[in-house]
Copies of this chain bind each other. A is one copy, B any other.
Amino acid sequence: MDFSVESATATVVESFRDTRDPRLRAVLESLTRYLHAFVREVRPSLAEWNQAIEFLTAVGQTCTDTRQEFILLSDVLGVSMLVETVNAQQTGTAGTVLGPFHMTESPPRALGDSIDLIGGARRCVVSGWVTGGAGEPVGGAQVDVWQCTEEGFYDVQQPDLQPPGNGRGLFTTDDDGRYWFRTVVPSHYPIPTDGPVGRLLEATERHPYRPAHIHFLVTAPGYEELTTHAFVAGSPYVDSDAVFAVKQSLVVDFTESHDESAAAAFGVATPFIHARFDIVLQERL
């Protein structure tokens, strides 16, 4: 039987019948159905289809060891956030996207160390407790953090200006489940706009900015892995994140503190900016 608009999807779905991995088969069948339905709805001209091929090719070819343009595309289409959301833990701290900058390993650091290796101006302490759902402290949890500078750049974007590992640290909570580290207040920043995803945003009159945030990836034995951000309250674009990652429960006050005893405990001088971000993990079932 000839390939037709009506028979196309069944024909292609049938071609996957011998796939060994049942999950792969189910994903490809679903992909075929939705992709074909999209084509039937928009009826792209051959010139438009060619533009799409060229766009996707350019996205792939923009990727390097330190840049992931396909994650960026997934981000601006809300797909990354949707995948995160369907996988999110049902209790505890809300999750959000991993983002494209978790591409190097964060250097292990001691509690209280600074992840600001270049001497930024707005010195800051971030601290919190990692607990389970019943409030039990989670000692020995790995708290991986990464953030941009006060100018809005990650280390991998400025290899000539920042040492590797600037803005990154892998901390381990103490027996009480506490973590704390020194840093600078990160800036809001544009996602990279000099590639095909930037051209897409420009053509759709969307701004490329993300509100200021610090990334967290928290793991502990017996608990679900948590990927999230602490967003800086009051940051520009906190209501219109280009990658849709803001959740209200993740917006954290970064406030100036004159508390001498807290400053002494954290090893900083007053005044300092303090952000408290507690993390609640969900037990693995």
The residue from B2, B26, B70, B79 contacting A35, defined by CB atoms under 8 A apart: B79
A interface residues, tally (CB under 8 Å) = 73
Each complex incorporates copies of this chain amounting to 2
**B39 pairs with A83, CB closer than 8 A:** yes
Task: Determine whether A12 belongs to the interface, using a CB cutoff of 8 Å to chain B.
Answer: yes
**A203 pairs with B18, CB closer than 8 A:** no
CB distance from A94 to the nearest CB of B (A): 8
User: Would A8 and B60 be within 8 Å (CB), given that A18-B204, A34-B35, A247-B2 are in contact?
Assistant: no
Interface residues of A in 17-65 (CB under 8 A from B): 18-21, 24-28, 30-32, 34-46, 48-49, 53, 56-61, 63
User: Beyond the given A8-B85, A46-B84, could you list 18 further A-B residue pairs with CB under 8 A, ordered by the A residue number?
Assistant: A2-B249, A3-B82, A3-B244, A8-B81, A11-B78, A12-B244, A15-B244, A24-B203, A27-B48, A31-B42, A34-B37, A39-B86, A40-B86, A43-B87, A53-B68, A53-B70, A57-B70, A58-B60
**B83 pairs with A46, CB closer than 8 A:** yes
CB distance from A37 to the nearest CB of B (A): 6
**A85 pairs with B4, CB closer than 8 A:** yes
Q: CA A247 – CA B63 in complex, angstroms?
A: 38
A71 contacts which chain B residues (CB < 8 A)? 53
Task: Determine whether A5 belongs to the interface, using a CB cutoff of 8 Å to chain B.
Answer: yes
Task: Determine whether A124 belongs to the interface, using a CB cutoff of 8 Å to chain B.
Answer: no
A118 contacts which chain B residues (CB < 8 A)? none
Task: Determine whether A77 belongs to the interface, using a CB cutoff of 8 Å to chain B.
Answer: yes
Q: CA A32 – CA B76 in complex, angstroms?
A: 10
CB distance from A101 to the nearest CB of B (A): 14
Task: Determine whether A218 belongs to the interface, using a CB cutoff of 8 Å to chain B.
Answer: no
**A63 pairs with B70, CB closer than 8 A:** no
Considering only CB atoms, which chain B residue lies closest to A62 in the complex? Answer: B60
Please classify the interface of chain A as helix (H, G, I), strand (E, B), loop, or mixed, using the class held by over half of its residues.
Answer: helix
| Residue-wise interface mask of A (239-279) relative to B, using a CB-CB cutoff of 8 A (1 in contact, 0 not) | 00000111111000000000000000000000000000000
A26 contacts which chain B residues (CB < 8 A)? 42
**A56 pairs with B70, CB closer than 8 A:** yes
Q: What 7 pairs between A and B have smallest CB-CB spacing?
A: A60-B60, A12-B78, A18-B205, A34-B38, A19-B204, A49-B83, A34-B34
Q: CA A11 – CA B242 in complex, angstroms?
A: 11
**B85 pairs with A20, CB closer than 8 A:** no
CB distance from A242 to the nearest CB of B (A): 9
